[in-house]
Structure 1
Amino acid sequence: MNPRVEPWLTAGVLLVAMAGLAYHCHYLAVPIVDDAAISLAYGLTFFSGEGLRVTPASQPVEGFSNPLWTLLLGLSHPLHLKPVAFTHGLGIVFGVLALPAVAAWGPAAEGRRWRLEDAVAPCVAALNPTYAYWISSGMETGLEAFLLGLSGFFLLRELRTGRTAHVGWALGLLCLTRPEGVLFTTAAGALWVGSRALERRWPGRQELRIFLWLLALVGGWLAVRWCYFADWLPNTYYAKQFWEFNAAAYFRNFWLTYQPLCVLAAAGWLFGLAGRGAVARQTVLALLYMGCGLYFVWSAKGDWMREWRFFAPLVPLLGAAMAVGLSGARAMSAQWVAQGRGRMPARLSLVAVTGAALTVGVPGLRASIARAPEVQANPELPYAVIAGNFRRVRTQTQALGQVHPLLGYPDLGGQAMVLRGAEIIDVAGLADYAVAHHANNYPALEDYLLSEGPCILLDAHGPSGHLAGFQKLMGNYHSIGSSFFMLNGLTPTEDPRCPEGKAATLALDPAAQLQRFEQEIREDQAQRALHRWRCVHAYTAAEQLPDEASRERLAELADQRGDALVREGHLLPALRQYSLATLLDEGNAHRRRKAEKLRGRIYPRPQGP
């Protein structure tokens, strides 16, 4: 093909692929999933000035694993945009932008103009319903795919030119988008070090700048995580550590569904490696990135969501593998010409490779497209459905006169978006430190839910179904239908958590409340003080509660009293003091960490057989 025409033709195909992907998303009309609403709720709380909490009244817990996406979604608040529509559209925008980012790998690696094979990856992604589904779902899939493509582009270009260090910030942002970003960064680093070793080049200013970008972004977030959330890992890691979703079946079903595309990708990697030089480097990068993605899926034990959420951002890499295969075939043909074997055999070899790819790829793409109606008809746990359920819960809490109801429910996204004034104990563990860290330790969980609550409403189903077997806890509740329970004795005029009765407890002014709290701390009646706080907090607006400085002073007093009780060997009373200190100090994560360490000591995790 005329080398002057091919770049323009490639650009045209790329634009068609981007438009096709946008139409594919429009056709699927995917509702944002409930998990996406979790990140949205956190982002809205942050930009409303209440910190990184799922609701302003909830404790500061990292119940998300995508900090960059969470903050981006929160921008809908200062920009005065509709949050749900913004979430839906932003994912599609990034997913579409990922196509040119991945397509640019070949020109970046080889320092050449666009060629037709560069448009293969965009076409594969545009026609794949798994990819289109998840970039439309409100999840961070589109952003992850975009940063994978962008980091690969910068890496390949900067290895070739030896200039700039943009790959540093691209990889840093990738690490802040998904936990597996650390794996991708490690793979990119391995390719960089290996390439420079082959060139016999020592690290220099370029490598230092890349390192500083990673240190600033990743190290900065780790510092924030420790200072604010009192942990080095996201809370979701602990919540999911015992979850099992049959990773083998996850892999097998994807393979059976997209077998032709996977076979072509494998063939592409083989031809790409044969191409040597810049083509081989591009091939190795695609292989390493794909390997990291697959390893993460295996280590995460699959996923509870359908349509292969974790594989979706890797779909463009399948196309990238096909593209490097065609580039490798071109390089082999050029080598034949250079060796004097003639232009005709070289052209025939290239035509044969292209024809074989089309023979396998076209039916595979057709099969992918044919799945679109089925995917469209089976959306994954829409946020709107969960939000509708919690509007009824909101009506219940309002009828009880509660300003900050304490709720124990899973299905966090819709709950947090509808009940913005609630304090949520996420009984699935994602956004609750104690529930996550005591996962599968039922005595510790039951003690936590009883002593620091109890919640006024409780849902025992799915990930929280085990709560129905907690006899001490459930003795405080009565069924209100299905898997839902209400606290015994709770009415619009009475709350069993109020020590002197609802009316008398709430009649105390802030100064009198502070006096009662201090008296109960000094007399080691921290459990009574915990109930008092739950009562006062539930029915009182934030500005009418005791002031922050006074509550912090009481928290410090309770913490010191707890330390003294630990030294005396009175661990359970000490735990109640630590719990009270945590709640009075707005859920301070370091106080929470201290309380849960003691709870784990009192109720050690049962040992396996």
Structure 2
Amino acid sequence: MTASTLDKQPVEESDGGRSGGRRAGLGRWAGRPLPLLSVLIGTVAIGWHATVYGYWIVDDAGITFAYARSVAEGLGPVVQRGADPVEGFSNPTWMLLLALGRLLGLFDNGTLFGVPDYVLFPKALALLCCAGILTLCYRAAAKVTSRPWLATGAIGLVLAAIPSFVIWSFSGLANSLFALAITALAVLLFRAVLDGRLLSSRVALLAGGLAAFAALTRPEGLIYAGSYPLVALAVVRRHAVGGGIRRAALSLAAFAVPVGGYFCWRYLEFGRLVSNPSVAKKQGLPGLDDLTRPGELVDYAGALTVLLLAVLLGMVLARRVWWRPGLLALLVPLGLALLAFAVLRDDWMAQHRFATPVWVLGALVGTLTAIEALRQLGRRARALGVVGLVTVLASSAASFEAAASEFRATPNISMCFVADRMGRGFNTYADMLGLEQGSLLLPDLGGSALTSRLRLHDMAGLVSARFADYIAADDKEGQRDYVFEEIKPTFIHSHAPWSELNGIPSDPRLARDYYEIYRYDYGEDRPPNGDWVRKEVVPDQATLAELRAYAGTAMAEIDRKAGGREWPRRKCGPALHRGQTTTGLT
């Protein structure tokens, strides 16, 4: 045995389906339509579920869209023309894919097949990523079962049933690409362990490279640098520990080179070691209470379903099936995914948007485990087991249907709403005042960055370094002084919870320097929420009355429709361009 190969018999072997797995691994289904069909069925099912949410794109995705536009136009990493360089995105690989799409004329240019490309292109990328995920799942299943197409189809249908997975994969954010990277890493380790190739240099380098890709797709991807070292520690025999340590170092080096290079560029370009959103969200070390957060996913998926799969997993591990080391290799990235979910600060968005890799790896591990556990039973017991499994999964399916219906009725803030209300709406204010230049302070930067001709200031801090620093320091007074004494925006928009968090609308300097244009009726006991304009740019009271009349009709109508069932899922025109107004909105 050399240090560059893994002992191919890490546990006592019994047939236990191993011969079937070998035949599958050799391509038993090569040349037949079943593998392709299983991937296709799962992908179509996932895509069909995504259509339930219509054209909805979450507004945070619009921030990345705006950066992609700027990069493609040669402006650099800025949220809009003329803005200061700030790393307001946390998904560099996804942003670059969108920028490439724009350069190719596939994104942020107009319509494709009658659908706005700002919707079609990111959702098409997500669908391709889902197809890639299922293809990788097939390759994993092909190592341990004689019917990998059946396992792949089951995984696809399970993922299609989980609203959290579908919603955030097709939200315009990088979730689908991130899940693809993590799945590729997990399947690489799984197959390498079963083939006795884990300690090869190629596998170590690929594992480090995939972990680096994940880290450049989502901030929590950094945790997956530990995947290869932990798997090597878990499955390598004692006499090969030296080789395992060397290959782990090689994998970490493959991870460190691209990630370290990006971090160096980040520091030189932005003066930070972490992205600006991480600062604004005050991401820090987790507490003990945070480590219980994966329990939220148990409630979401169904406690009975999770318990049953845990029992089946225990059965398989206790029986020490021949592919047990491979199963351990899958459990490592799954455990890291759960840890990442626990570490990240709780997110205001619904449906657990940070759990996407958990659903994929959980579906893969659960399906392979269930197949193995059922295979160990007699024919009659197997039939009863299948019935019991389907019954338990049906209870989760009912819960998922309710979650999907709830989100469809009230999705998180859409990019199109922000484009209409904050972008086009305030452009119209500026036109009514005859302003050639101006600025706008607001907390919603996605759709507004794509449509506004005003200089934007982000009170949420995602694309503003100064606001991010004030938020991280809990310096509310500093935020207010910055607004009223330094930037002095032409317009201010604020709504809950930001009005309470920073106190800007309650500051007496607001009444001193600004006219109220429009107010939300949240009750007298709540801070003011609405739109304001700086007094010095309003030529007379007649113009102010026109602004208020327009806001009381057009802006109020947008706000009213935003609470409806169809409006948040609509498209907002064939393209999103700087300077658009509310004229002609439907």
User: Alignment partner for residue 19 of structure 1, among 17, 33, 44?
Assistant: 44
Report whether the alignment pairs 1:223 with 2:255. Answer: no
* Matching of residue 476 in structure 1 with residue 520 in structure 2: no
1:75 to 100, 123, 127: 100
Counterpart check, 1:40 vs 2:87: no
Cα drift, residue 363 of structure 1: 4.2
Residues 37, 383 of structure 1: 8 Å contact kept: yes
Is 2:445 the partner of 1:412?
A: yes
Give, in whole Å, the separation in 2 of the partners of 1:265 and 1:180.
26
Show the counterpart of 2:220.
Answer: 180
User: Please, which of 435, 453, 464 is the counterpart of residue 432 of structure 1?
Assistant: 464
Return the alpha-carbon distance in structure 2 between the equivalents of residues 117 and 400 of structure 1.
63
Equivalent residue, structure 1, for 2:276: 235
- The separation in 1 between residues aligned to 2:360 and 2:50, in whole angstroms, is 16
Give the C-alpha shift of residue 144 in structure 1.
1.4
CA distance in 1: counterparts of 2:326 and 2:241, whole angstroms: 19
* Aligned residue identity for 1:486: V
CA 1:351 to 1:307, structure 2 compared with 1: closer, same or farther past 3 Å? same
Q: TM-score, normalised by structure 2?
A: 0.73
Q: CA 1:168 to 1:251, structure 2 compared with 1: closer, same or farther past 3 Å?
A: closer
Structure 1 residue aligned with 2:165, among 128, 131, 134? 131
Counting only pairs closer than 5 Å after superposition, residues 258-407 of structure 1 correspond to structure 2 as 258-259=301-302, 260-276=304-320, 279-326=323-370, 328-329=372-373, 333=376, 350-351=382-383, 353-365=385-397, 367-369=399-401, 371-389=403-421, 390-407=423-440
After TM superposition, list the pairs within 5 Å mapping 1:64-143 onto structure 2.
64-83=89-108, 84-85=118-119, 86-107=121-142, 114=148, 116-143=150-177
- The Cα of 1:428 is off from its aligned counterpart by 0.9
User: Aligned-pair distance for 1:154?
Assistant: 1.5
Q: Does 1:63 align with 2:100?
A: no
Quick one: structure 1 residues 322 and 46, their matched pair in 2 at CA, closer, same or farther if it must change by over 3 Å?
A: same
| Residue number in structure 1 paired with 2:298 | 255
Amino acid paired to 2:449: A
Task: Please name the residue that 1:161 is paired with.
Answer: 197
Q: Secondary structure at the match of 1:484?
A: strand
Partner SS state of residue 200, structure 1: helix
Q: Does the CA contact (< 8 Å) of 2:165 and 2:356 recur in 1? A: yes
Q: Which amino acid aligns with 1:161?
A: R
Indicate the residue corresponding to 2:543 in structure 1: none
- AA of the residue aligned to 2:130: G
SS in 1 for 2:159: helix
Contact between 1:107 and 1:113, CA under 8 Å: does it hold in 2?
A: yes
Separation of aligned partners in 2, 1:301 and 1:36: 19
For 2:216, the aligned partner's letter is L
Change (3 A) 1:188 1:423: farther
* Equivalent residues of 1:428, 1:463 under 8 A apart: no
Do the aligned partners of residues 488 and 370 (structure 1) sit closer, same or farther apart at CA in structure 2, a change above 3 Å counting? closer
- Aligned AA for 2:335? G
Aligned equivalents of 2:392, 2:333: Cα separation in 1: 24
Larger displacement relative to structure 2 (2-11 or 296-305): 2-11
| Equivalence map 1:483-494=2 (5 Å) | 483-491=530-538
Deviates further, 469-478 or 177-186: 469-478
Give me the whole-angstrom Cα distance separating, in 2, the residues matched to 1:52 and 1:148. 26
SS of residue matched to 1:452: helix
Cα deviation 1:486-531 (Å, max 9, x = unaligned): 12212479xxxxxxxxxxxxxxxxxxxxxxxxxxxxxxxxxxxxxx
Q: Is the 8 A contact 2:86 2:464 kept in 1?
A: yes
SS of 2:219's equivalent? coil
Kept in 1: contact 2:91–2:216 (CA 8 A): yes
Indicate the percent of aligned positions where both proteins have the same amino acid.
23
How far apart are residue 129 of structure 1 and its match? 2.4
Q: Provide TM-score, normalisation by structure 1.
A: 0.70
Q: Are the structure 2 counterparts of residues 186 and 211 from structure 1 closer, same or farther at C-alpha, using a change threshold of 3 Å?
A: closer
Partner of 1:144: 178
Q: Cα distance, 1:138 vs. partner?
A: 0.8
Question: Once the two structures are superposed, what CA deviation does each residue of 1:313-367 show, in whole Å capped at 9, x if it has no partner?
Answer: 3212221221232354278x3xxxxxxxxxxx65566555444323322443355
Q: Is the 8 A contact 2:161 2:400 kept in 1?
A: yes
Structure 1 pair 53/352, CA: closer, same or farther in 2 (3 Å)?
same
Q: Is the 8 A contact 1:297 1:310 kept in 2?
A: yes
User: Which AA in structure 1 matches 2:102?
Assistant: H
C-alpha change, 1:147 and 1:271, in structure 2 (3 Å) is: farther
Please list the CA deviations of residues 8-43 of structure 1 after superposition, one character each: whole Å capped at 9, or x if unmatched.
656543432222112222233251110111111111
Q: For residues 398 and 188 of structure 1, do their structure 2 counterparts lie closer, same or farther at Cα, with a shift above 3 Å needed? A: farther
CA 1:199–1:153 in structure 2 vs 1: closer, same or farther (change >3 Å)? farther
The count of aligned residue pairs is: 478
Per-residue CA deviation, residues 552-571 of structure 1 (Å, 9 max, x unaligned), is xxxxxxxxxxxxxxxxxxxx
CA contact (8 A) 1:479 1:486 kept: yes
2:312 touches 2:373 (CA, 8 Å); kept in 1? no
Identify unmatched segments of 5+ residues in structure 2.
1-16, 109-117, 520-529, 541-586
Tell whether the 8 Å contact from 1:235 to 1:431 is kept in structure 2 after alignment: yes
Q: 1:185 to 1:479 in 2, by over 3 A?
A: same
Judged with a 3 Å threshold, the aligned counterparts in structure 2 of structure 1 residues 42 and 272 are, in CA distance, closer, same or farther, namely farther
Cα RMSD for the two superposed structures: 3.3
Post-superposition CA distance 1:72-120 (Å, at most 9, x none): 1222321112431212322232133222223433445x59883634543
- Give secondary structure in 2 for the equivalent of 1:428: coil
Q: 1:492 to 1:191 in 2, by over 3 A?
A: farther
User: Comparing 437-446 with 2-11, which one deviates more in the overlay?
Assistant: 2-11
Residue in structure 2 matched with residue 467 of structure 1 by the alignment: 504
Per-residue CA deviation, residues 140-167 of structure 1 (Å, 9 max, x unaligned), is: 1111111111111122233432442322
Partners of 2:321 and 2:50 in 1: how far apart? 37
The answer on whether the counterparts of 2:35 and 2:138 sit within 8 Å (CA) in structure 1 is no
Once the two structures are superposed, the pairs formed by residues 190-205 of structure 1 within 5 Å of their partners are 190-196=230-236, 198=238, 200-203=240-243
Contact map agreement 1:55 1:422 (CA 8 A) in 2? no
Equivalent of residue 31 in structure 1, options 39, 56, 60 = 56
Instruction: Tell me the secondary structure at the aligned position of residue 180 of structure 1.
Output: helix
Aligned residues of 1:18 and 1:96 also touching (Cα < 8 A): yes
Whether contact under 8 Å (2:92, 2:216) holds in the other structure is yes
CA deviation map 1:204-223 (0-9, x unaligned): 77556533431232111111
CA–CA distance in structure 2, aligned partners of residues 402 and 277 of structure 1: 73
Stretch moving more, 459-468 or 424-433: 459-468
Structure 1: distance between partners of 2:221 and 2:533: 42
Structure 2 CA distance for aligned equivalents of residues 53 and 360 of structure 1: 49
Residue pair 1:96, 1:142 contacting (<8 A) in 2 also: no
CA radius of gyration, larger in: 1
Cα distance in structure 2, aligned partners of 1:27 and 1:462: 28
Q: What is the alpha-carbon distance in structure 1 between the residues aligned to residue 236 and residue 451 of structure 2?
A: 53
